[in-house]
Amino acid sequence: MSTLPKILVTSAAGKTGQHVVTQLLQKGFPVRALVRKLDRRSDALSQAGADIVEGNQYSLSDMRRAMQGVKRAYQCAPTAPNGLHFNAVFTAAAHEAGLEHVVTLGQWLSSVDHPSLFTREVYISDALIRMSPKFTVTSVNPGWFADNYTMVLDMAAHLGLFTMPLGPGDEKKNAPPSNEDIASVAVAALTDPSTHAGKTYRPTGPELMSPNDIAAAMGRALGRKVSYMNISEKMMTKALRALPPSNYSEAAVSQLAIYADEYRRGSFAVNAPTDDVLKIGGQAPEAFESIVRRVVAGRPDLRTSPLRRVNALMNFAKILLTPALDLTRVQSDRDYVQIAQPRFSQNTADWVSSHEPKRPLNVPVGVA
């Protein structure tokens, strides 16, 4: 029987959560995985050795139940307009349970007056969770995930186009981290709280990349030429609404449009790349092309064929015919909390002072 403390992982079937679970298990730590529903993902985590708890992350009763016998936890809030509610529930339960250490997944953009409600809620959540004197906290604040680009791999594979509203194709504005690399930093903090308590880390990929670089890497992984096409935010909302299966609600799409604006402003390029994956996670950050190759290897539907090309053209036509999402209406209809003078990250003095580069920009820190 393990003498190591049991660790709770919330959103355990999610992009980073599942990797946090498996990496902790590989290190011999007992893990309780909180999932929204039982499915093939939770089955895989159970087979790996995790203690599965099905529950509602917004329910204080369920969170109390999930924290019984737990000493540490990974807090990964869902991307939702009620993220602050989840974080408040988690913080209350963690305080009651007497946890010793918590690792939170936050946002690189987090700032007090950000135009995105989701981001302002992350900022408040970070402040709330650090108020408890009972446990220490480590924050992991990644930027634009490598996984975000894979949303459009179908069009890249079958039409040779990488389409996103990221601005000029030759401007290097992101060093995309893999889900696994983000998880490695969280796991390091969970397994060694005394070293990482009170710290904030920003995992990135090994180098800054432009949209043209991203398209070229996709092309090499797919074995075909892929070109970048800068599209409007309206076209992005049409695509996210038109093509199932989509995990993005109208609320999430409205916030993604704001993050794309931040991308074009260069906020994700500030202090990138970092060496946090190498120094904290203990491994060289994975190159973007390697990430895409793994995705392609697991998706036989990305192999080209005449029928798949026709389907891709039909999907493109469907995007064109789908009404664009009125982003202002979405926030108004949902009664989002509004502030008088929203400010993007780089227009906020305390964000700039706390996010200054620690190393020269665009200097590779290691390639997997």
| Cβ atoms within 10 Å of 337's Cβ, excluding its own | 10
Tokens standing for residue 305: 């064929």
Tokens standing for residue 200: 């904030």
pLDDT level of residue 363 (50, 70, 90 thresholds) = very low
Give residue 294's pLDDT: 96
With CA atoms as reference, report the closest residue to 160 among 332, 3, 312, 355: 312
Q: Quick one: how far is CA 65 from the chain centroid?
A: 26
Q: What's the mean pLDDT in 86-93?
A: 95
Give residue 366's pLDDT: 47
Give residue 238's pLDDT: 82
Q: Quick one: how far is CA 14 from the chain centroid?
A: 9
Q: Where in the chain is the domain with CATH 3.90.25.10?
A: 146-176+207-266+286-336
Tokens standing for residue 48: 């790996």
Give residue 367's pLDDT: 43
pLDDT level of residue 333 (50, 70, 90 thresholds) = low
Q: What's the mean pLDDT in 224-235?
A: 93
pLDDT of 153 over the 90 cut:
yes
Distance CA 83, CA 81 (A): 6
3-state secondary structure of 86: helix
Pure H helices in 79-232: 83-97, 117-129, 153-159, 179-191, 193-196, 211-222
Distance CA 296, CA 221 (A): 7
pLDDT of 247 over the 60 cut:
no
- Cβ atoms of residues 259 and 253 within 8 Å: no
With CA atoms as reference, report the closest residue to 30 among 87, 91, 72, 61: 72
Note the pLDDT tens digit of each residue in 308-320: 899 888 888 888 8
Q: Which CATH number fits domain 7-143+178-201: 3.40.920.10, 3.40.50.720, 3.60.20.10, 3.40.50.300?
A: 3.40.50.720
Give residue 253's pLDDT: 81
Q: Where in the chain is the domain with CATH 3.40.50.720?
A: 7-143+178-201
- What is the DSSP-derived secondary structure letter of residue 267? G
- pLDDT: is 338 or 111 the higher one? 111
The length of the chain is 368
Q: What residues contact residue 65 under an 8 Å CB cut-off, 6+ apart?
A: 53, 55
- pLDDT: is 186 or 306 the higher one? 186
Give ∠ CA 215-221-227 in degrees, rounded to 5.
20
pLDDT of 194 over the 80 cut:
yes
Rounded to the nearest integer, the mean pLDDT of the chain is 90
With CA atoms as reference, report the closest residue to 288 among 166, 158, 171, 181: 181
pLDDT level of residue 96 (50, 70, 90 thresholds) = very high
With CA atoms as reference, report the closest residue to 24 among 2, 53, 57, 54: 2
pLDDT level of residue 245 (50, 70, 90 thresholds) = low
Torsion (CA) 278, 282, 284, 290 in degrees, nearest 10: -130
- H-helix or E-strand spanning residue 164: strand 161-164
Q: What's the mean pLDDT in 262-290?
A: 97
At 72, the amino acid letter reads R
Count of CA atoms in the C-beta half-sphere (13 A) of 89: 22
- Beta-bridge mates of residue 209: 174
- pLDDT: is 40 or 78 the higher one? 40
- pLDDT: is 236 or 27 the higher one? 27
Tokens standing for residue 326: 């009125």
Q: What's the mean pLDDT in 27-32?
A: 98
Distance CA 303, CA 323 (A): 30
pLDDT level of residue 283 (50, 70, 90 thresholds) = very high
Tokens standing for residue 158: 């079958």
Homologous superfamily in CATH for domain 146-176+207-266+286-336:
UDP-galactose 4-epimerase, domain 1 (3.90.25.10)
Q: What's the mean pLDDT in 235-261?
A: 78
